[in-house]
Amino acid sequence: MALLDVRNLSVDYLTDDGTPLRAVEDVSFSLKQGRSLGLVGESGCGKTTAMLGVLRLLPAEGRIVSGEVRYRGVDLLRLSEQEMRKHRWNKIAIVFQGAMNALNPVRTIGDQIAEPIMLHGAATDKKAASERVGELLEMVGITPEMARQYPHQYSGGMRQRAMTAMALACSPDILIADEPTTALDVMIQAQILDLFQHLQKQLGLSIILVTHDLGVVAEICDDVLVMYGGRTAEYASVDTIYNEPLHPYTQRLMQAFPDIDGPALKTSLASIPGYPPPLDALPPGCRFEPRCHRKSDVCAVESPPLVAVKPGHYVACHFAEG
Amino acid sequence: MEQFREIWRTFRRRPIGIVGALTLLSVVFVAIFAPWLAPYDPDEKIDVEPGDLLAPPDAGHLLGRDDAGKDVLSQLIYGARVSLTVGFVASFMSMFIGTTVGLVAGYFGGRIGNALMRVVDFLMVIPDLPLMLVIISLWGRGLWKIILVIGLLGWTYTARLVRSQVLSIKERQFILRARAIGAGSLRIIARHVFPQVLPLILAEAVLDISGAIIAESSLSFLGLGDPTLVSWGMMLNFAFERAISRMAWWFLLPPGFAIIWVSLGLVLMGSTLEEIVNPRLKSHHLFDPRRMVALVAGESASQRISE
């Protein structure tokens, strides 16, 4: 049985006058113990919204319209807020985009890491909690004495590692990492990714990695879910996605990613012309149709269903058979 | 314990804060030890001769005498008790109400928030002083009534201030993270929102204490003070009515200066307090000696050049 099973999740955002805008539509995926899933797509494709939906942390305007989020068979969307709070961090932890903003600037790092520990009763007293904090910091390569410092006294990479330490505080089963390496330089990125892989092996953690960096996905993930305009474009194992991408969007994404080992860059780096569709002007047919290089008449009127072209390889394209 | 040492260290580094604290503490000291410090008991029955009325300062009466022949210095010393009590108690009350209302209205918003803010608007459009005058003249005069009136009417500005700050703080990402941790609203308010608005509240409280002292002085000055107690405002009232025409500056100026003295001490202390509760004003990670590798290297380089 999958650890986390998301079925047909749809999320709306309500505008000021109450019109719902579909930000995530019919997204399904499953995550097994110790595996990692990459969630890729351009900015504004609904990646973060889908993850906030899983944790029921959507902003006030957000509504989960339909779907199921089954964690070990329990539908998280049906739990009371009280029960949901017990699952957050304890079972599913999240590292937000931009660690600098996710830390409270007026409280020490140690104090903030201790908060979920105390909250979920992982330590009974302050002394045990602070020992655990030291342990966690050490795990991510920060000396325990630095727990007494404030976020502004940490560098960007240290803050990111501190956030990771905090995410591991209650030994969760699942770690959602929302663009954990954006805004960090390449060296620090590599360190953080190494850390993730190391922790995954050591703790048997399942990771959902939200990113638009395909290199990172190739390095860490087992499966990849490509999102476009709030929908699933393609969902398959990482090898399939890299070697035989079927959705035109995935193909274009791959071309837009420089290959260092391949032949020298004779041609300029490919980019996908245009932008992802705004939520209030979604194309009537396939979401990718306006930017697609393979489109035909049917694409503009009919939205392609997500079909399994092979076991474990799902594509939403009228021409997916390849 | 560590925190107290930290506060003490910050204070020691800021001479202005020490000056402010000493200024305020001197008044607190005077207020506490008034019976021992005052040369005369203001309630004491005294025999006065016509020459004693509004007598200018001399060796026996350092600040002269008032229109009833009583020692001005003693009144000033006893007046500190009334003014400080009103200032601290009333402003604590209004800070407490204002902060609670601001936190609730800002964090929860919606109908509760709107309802609370309409109450604030309603209280805000009514000018404070006339309203206090009306309430006190209907309710009767008395120290605790004055404190209650000042405290219960003075929280609106704080509520607005706190609310607007909370509105911005609650959208910050560490609040979302706190929710992701599994924290409930009360915990988030207490541990993440409140510490952020605390510097603001302290800075506001400092102004509010002097505001309350001045409000009490105004009420007393207008003749609505507690008739059984001498406050600085009461002294100003008497001096203004009876002494100013006789050029008795020794009766008029001391209570005025006393009010300024307390306000000044509070403001000077306020800036240092703000620094203590706001760690961002303290230091940057690059100034941490444990991380100053680059700087140390630079220093040795410059030393080499000079050698």
pLDDT for the residue A259: 66
Q: Which residues in chain A have their CB less than 8 angstroms from residue B284's CB?
A: 152-153
- For residue A210, name the pLDDT band (cuts at 50, 70, 90): very high
CA dist list (Å): A186 to A189, A190, A215, A216, B239: 5, 6, 12, 11, 75
Region B236-242: what's the mean pLDDT?
82
Region A77-81: what's the mean pLDDT?
92
A69 assigned to some structural domain:
no
**Would you call A101 and B173 a contact, using CB atoms and an 8 Å cutoff?**
yes
pLDDT for the residue A267: 60
Q: Is A32 within 8 Å of chain B by CB?
A: no
Q: Which residues in chain A have their CB less than 8 angstroms from residue B190's CB?
A: none
A21 assigned to some structural domain:
no
Question: pLDDT (tens digit, 9 = 90+) per residue, A36-49?
Answer: 999 998 888 889 99
- For residue A262, name the pLDDT band (cuts at 50, 70, 90): low
pLDDT for the residue B36: 86
**Would you call B181 and A103 a contact, using CB atoms and an 8 Å cutoff?**
no
A273 assigned to some structural domain:
yes
Q: Is A208 within 8 Å of chain B by CB?
A: no
- End residue of a domain, out of A149, A171, A193: A171
- For residue B166, name the pLDDT band (cuts at 50, 70, 90): very high
pLDDT for the residue B302: 40
**Would you call A94 and B285 a contact, using CB atoms and an 8 Å cutoff?**
no
Are A123 and A204 found together in one domain?
Answer: no
- CB A172, CB A200: distance < 8 Å: no
Are A87 and A219 found together in one domain?
Answer: yes
pLDDT for the residue B197: 87
Q: Which residues in chain A have their CB less than 8 angstroms from residue B283's CB?
A: 153
Distance separating the N- and C-terminal Cα atoms of chain A = 31
A106 vs B183, B187, B279: nearest CB: B279
Q: Which residue has the tokens 């991380």?
A: B291
pLDDT for the residue B288: 46
Q: Is A238 within 8 Å of chain B by CB?
A: no
Q: Strand, coil or helix: what is B40? A: coil
Domain ranges for chain B: 2-282
Measured in degrees and rounded to the nearest 5, phi and psi for residue A73 equal 85, -10
Query: Which residue from B127, B75, B113 is spatially nearest to B237, judged by alpha carbons?
Result: B75
Q: Is A116 within 8 Å of chain B by CB?
A: yes
**What is the C-alpha separation between B159 and B135, in angstroms, rounded?**
22
A151 assigned to some structural domain:
yes
pLDDT for the residue B287: 47
- End residue of a domain, out of A171, A187, A214: A171
Are A222 and A84 found together in one domain?
Answer: yes
The CATH code of domain B2-282 reads 1.10.3720.10
Are A108 and A257 found together in one domain?
Answer: no
- For residue B277, name the pLDDT band (cuts at 50, 70, 90): low
Which residues make Cβ contacts (< 8 Å) with residue B42, sequence separation at least 6? Answer: B70, B71, B74, B75, B78, B230
Question: pLDDT (tens digit, 9 = 90+) per residue, A143-181?
Answer: 999 999 999 899 888 898 899 889 988 889 999 998 887
Of A279-283, B41-45, B123-127, B234-238, minimum mean pLDDT range: B41-45
A110 assigned to some structural domain:
yes
A88 vs B174, B182, B279: nearest CB: B182
Of A242-256, A265-279, B79-93, B209-223, minimum mean pLDDT range: A265-279
Mutation site, A79, A106, A208, interface B, largest B CB count within 10 A: A106
Are A109 and A160 found together in one domain?
Answer: yes
CA dist list (Å): A314 to A226, A245, A311, B222, B290: 10, 10, 8, 83, 52
Are A38 and A116 found together in one domain?
Answer: no
Question: pLDDT (tens digit, 9 = 90+) per residue, A14-24?
Answer: 988 888 999 99
Task: Give the pair of three-digit tokens for residue B6.
Answer: 């930290």
Are A145 and A254 found together in one domain?
Answer: no
Of A98-107, A309-318, B45-54, minimum mean pLDDT range: B45-54
Measured in degrees and rounded to the nearest 5, phi and psi for residue B3 equal -65, -40
Are A178 and A254 found together in one domain?
Answer: yes
Q: Which residues in chain A have their CB less than 8 angstroms from residue B183's CB?
A: 85, 115, 119
Region B252-272: what's the mean pLDDT?
86
pLDDT for the residue A266: 56
Region B189-199: what's the mean pLDDT?
87
pLDDT for the residue B300: 41
What is the tally of structural domains in chain A? 2
pLDDT score of A126 more than 60: yes
pLDDT for the residue A17: 87
**What is the C-alpha separation between A53 and B255, in angstroms, rounded?**
63
pLDDT for the residue A9: 95
For residue A176, the cross-strand partners are: A94, A208
DSSP category for residue B243: I
Higher pLDDT, B124 or A100: B124
pLDDT for the residue B206: 81
Are A144 and A201 found together in one domain?
Answer: no
Q: How far is B158 from chain A (nearest CA, A)?
A: 21
Q: Which residues in chain B have their CB less than 8 angstroms from residue A96's CB?
A: 173, 176-177, 180
pLDDT for the residue B285: 45
Helices (H), A88-155: 99-102, 109-119, 126-139
- End residue of a domain, out of A112, A145, A171: A171
CB atoms within 10 A of CB A2: 16
Q: Is A119 within 8 Å of chain B by CB?
A: yes
- For residue A268, name the pLDDT band (cuts at 50, 70, 90): low
Print the domain residue range for A283: 34-51+80-91+173-315
**Would you call A119 and B176 a contact, using CB atoms and an 8 Å cutoff?**
no
Q: DSSP readout, A226-278?
A: EEETTEEEEEEEHHHHHHS--SHHHHHHHHTS--SSSS---SPPP---S-PPP
Q: How far is A162 from chain B (nearest CA, A)?
A: 13
Are A38 and A181 found together in one domain?
Answer: yes
Region A110-115: what's the mean pLDDT?
92
pLDDT score of A64 more than 60: yes
A5 assigned to some structural domain:
no
Region B241-250: what's the mean pLDDT?
77
Instruction: For this complex, say whether ipTM is above 0.90.
Output: no
Q: What proportion of chain A, given as a percentage, has pLDDT over 90?
A: 44
Question: pLDDT (tens digit, 9 = 90+) per residue, B39-80?
Answer: 877 777 777 777 777 777 777 777 777 777 778 888 899 989
Are A130 and A261 found together in one domain?
Answer: no
pLDDT for the residue A114: 93
A71 assigned to some structural domain:
no
Angle between helices B249-277 and B72-108 (to 10 degrees): 30
A146 assigned to some structural domain:
yes
Are A187 and A222 found together in one domain?
Answer: yes
What's the predicted TM-score (pTM) here?
0.75
- CB B169, CB B193: distance < 8 Å: yes
Q: What average pLDDT does the structure give for chain B? A: 81
Q: What average pLDDT does the structure give for chain A? A: 88
Q: How far is B191 from chain A (nearest CA, A)?
A: 9
